[in-house]
Amino acid sequence: MPNLVRFSALRTSIIEPDTLPALLSTASQTLESIELYMPTALWIGHDTRSLPFASLCPLLYRLRTVHLVLPTLVSPNMTAFITHLLGSTAMLLETLKLSHRSSDSFDSTPFFSSAHSWPVLQTLCLPSETNLSRLPVSPGVRKLELNLSSEAPHSHVTLPPSAFPVLEELHCKHQDLPAFLPNYRDIVRRPIHTVVLPGYGRDAEYGMDASRHAMRHAPDDPAHMFTTLRRVFASLSHSAIPVTHLSFAIKGFKLLDLPSLFLPHGIQVLETLTIVIDGEQPDVRILVHARKALCLHQLLQDFWVCDAAVACIHPGPDRQRPVQTVICR
């Protein structure tokens, strides 16, 4: 396939140790995008045919998009392959997505040892456990997703002050938001306009996984939750530009409390607000009242509230709204 531009193999049974390097070699001059559901560590690590897998990864001269779904255990052979792939294409990459099939925590930092800079990278999606201080220099990243596993530890991100200077869209844990939007006057503030918490980033429209296990990183105690949200909203005001799109997940929340969270920090330019609630379905009258209370400004176009068991879906001519989703306009 010498003219192949995009290769997607999102089923592990498709990938063979012999055929993948051969396929990449034949398309090395034209391939621009690759999506791979990587095989399990046992299969690729102990099959004698897989020994050349890492060393035979060819130079891909036009590769700009890499999306790899990693297995529960990553073999040294697979690590070598990924490290070589990311290192040899570092100057070209515009989109890099690494996700992990296991619910265990996972640090993808070792894959970046051969890359010193990603000069044209714009979209970066990584497990939340990745050590961001050890990433290659990435001055042009505009969208960053730090996706949580169900077993991700409650650790705070370590972020150099100069990292991601032009970041516009952020998906992360609520604990990590202050690191991206610090209240420091002596550093350049990031121009973030879209924030998604707690950062599951799996839904194409909302960047939020509206599932029960997504609530794991939402505060449990109501008082602690309210304090946490106050701190989150205070951080939003530290962006270089107004935050216009906000999504977050919470447990058992009184929607009537929303205005008291927004008002002190002058967040009056929201265009889209998405809330995933784990708890009893709110009364529609309360939602309408909250919607009116939030109309302190004229810019709010969409206010979405969804039960945590159901995914939020944007309405359209060919889409249906979930029964348990309440939309106030």
pLDDT, tens digit, 9 for 90 and up, residues 284-309: 555 565 566 555 445 556 555 555 43
pLDDT value of residue 291 = 60
* pLDDT of the residue at 64: 95
Edge-first strand listing for the sheet containing 33-37 = 6-9, 33-37, 65-70, 95-100, 123-127, 143-147, 169-171, 194-196, 245-251, 272-278, 302-307, 325-328
pLDDT at 292: 60
> C-alpha angle 179/170/213, rounded to 5°?
95
pLDDT < 50 stretches in the chain? 41-51, 199-214, 296-297, 308-329
Q: Write down the pLDDT at residue 7.
A: 87
Residues 198-218: tens digit of each pLDDT:
643 333 333 344 444 445 555
Give pLDDT, residue 108.
Answer: 79
Tell whether the torsion through CA atoms of 123, 239, 183 and 263 is positive or negative: negative
pLDDT score, position 208: 43
